[in-house]
Amino acid sequence: MKVAVIGAGSTYTPELVEGLARERERLAIDDVVLHDIDAERRDVVGGLAKRMLDAAGYEGSLELTDDLARAVDGASYVLVQIRVGGQQARLGDETIPLACGCIGQETTGAGGFAKAFRTVPVVLEIADEVRQRAADDAWIVDFTNPVGIVTRALLDAGHRAVGLCNVAIGFQRSIARMLEVAPERILIDQVGLNHLTWIRRVLLDGDDVLPALLADHGDVLAEHVNIPRRVLDLLGVVPSYYLHYFYAHDEVLREQLDGVPRAAAVMEIERGLLELYRDPALTTKPALLEQRGGAFYSEAATGLITALTAGDGAVHVVDIRNGETVEGLAADDVIEVPARIERGGPEPLPQPAVAPELLGLMQHVAAYERLTAEAAVTGDLATARKALLTHPLIGQDALVESLLEPLLDRRDTPLHTHVEGAPA
């Protein structure tokens, strides 16, 4: 089996390589290709990856390349973890909206729109190469943010693709620690869109323990998602961290205006990581990587690949077409829900009707995602304006007019590079 990683210059790649090495017997991987067009990052990260695989006893081949066609040729899985324009582009996504009085965040709101607009065309170029050269039954697994919009664009174009985020597995692990049980006994039953989800059940060996969890650990959960405990109690669910941009909009905006952009902090962390990765004696991922975010990224990725290979019906939270799963959303919307992974792909678990206080926001953002995906593919500025006007964190004509040009007219941003990974 051949696995190709596109955007392998990412500082996350050692975590992914660790996961592939751990699962190499179940996955029978004999060819790993790490692709990136940034030669320095590719060589530094690839060097550590090779040392890690050697230390784990991996006997297959490892290739580093900037040749996309060569990377995906014959691949069974193509993992896409790119960041078009790198952290410098992210810094713009996080600061340009602030100047207009909007929240600056790389996947939510105006910043997420800008990221999608420049990212979707590049991902579709990669996917076209996969269609031509990869194995007939190859899967594209997308970690590239904004995952929901990117996955939608891939599916709209007819690609065999599934989106993946680490939020659900992060909840699974933290809740397992709270309950002092093995993570495998916990199933997170959430509903929503990527970065816009609510946990409605937590199944421990098949029994829902969410009410008891909220009663006994509500304060910890509220702190974890940065949303007041009273909101969790009112809704009877656990929102994802990204809901605090909606539920505490004004407070978040004030904090961002007074604070340091996350992109600036990440740039500093990455400089330190790359320096550590250059150490020829290093054969394990360094502790500093935990500060980069993306916890349990490798477990989510390798678990999904293993399940797709075996088709064993294991349940994973993924980004897929809605179909008839969530009443009130269109069939072609992309949702993030638990699904059984069969040989033919993910089959979403049934979802009961969604309460109006959740569904309303979900419908609102789903409409924005539809328009943004279309705008990113066509480049049509009228559709781009409609997308921004539709987003609940923007939604005013004056803001749209002040945002659109600075978000899209970024001549200093190398739009057609994919140099740095971006798991959710």
pLDDT bracket for residue 99 (50, 70, 90): very high
**Which helix (H) or strand (E) element contains residue 401?**
helix 397-408
For 413, phi then psi, to 5°, come to -100, 120
The DSSP result for 315-356, as a single string, is: EEEEEEE-TTSSTTS-TTSEEEEEEEEETTEEEEPP-PPPPH
Please count the residues of the chain: 424
Residue 135 predicted with pLDDT over 70: yes
Residues 320 and 349: beta-carbon distance below 8 Å: no
Residue 411 predicted with pLDDT over 70: no
What CA–CA distance (Å, rounded) separates 237 from 218? Answer: 10
pLDDT at 256: 96
Is 242 catalytic? The answer is yes
Q: What is the pLDDT of residues 161-204, one digit of tens each?
A: 999 999 999 999 999 999 999 999 999 999 999 999 999 999 99
Residues 210 and 200: beta-carbon distance below 8 Å: yes
What CA–CA distance (Å, rounded) separates 349 from 358? Answer: 18
Q: Read off the tokens for 78.
A: 């193509």
- Determine what percent of the chain is predicted with pLDDT higher than 90: 87
Residue 390 predicted with pLDDT over 50: yes
Q: What is the pLDDT of residues 297-327, one digit of tens each?
A: 888 999 999 999 999 999 999 999 999 999 9
Instruction: Exactly one of 242, 245, 297, 368 is catalytic; name it.
Output: 242
pLDDT at 294: 65
Average pLDDT, the chain: 94
- Nearest Cα to 45, choosing from 89, 90, 5, 72? 5
Residue 415 predicted with pLDDT over 60: no
Block residue for tokens 């656990």: 238
Q: Read off the tokens for 125.
A: 């170029």
- Determine what percent of the chain is predicted with pLDDT higher than 70: 96
Q: What is the pLDDT of residues 118-131, one digit of tens each?
A: 999 999 999 999 99
pLDDT bracket for residue 27 (50, 70, 90): confident
Residue 410 predicted with pLDDT over 80: no
- Nearest Cα to 290, choosing from 6, 18, 8? 18
How large is the average pLDDT for residues 8-35? 89
Instruction: Please tell me whether the overall predicted TM-score, pTM, comes out greater than 0.85 for this model.
Output: yes
Block residue for tokens 């409605």: 200
pLDDT at 423: 43
Residue 416 predicted with pLDDT over 50: no
pLDDT at 25: 77
How large is the average pLDDT for residues 346-363? 98
The DSSP result for 103-120, as a single string, is: ---SSSHHHHHHHHHHHH
Q: Which DSSP state fits 420? A: S
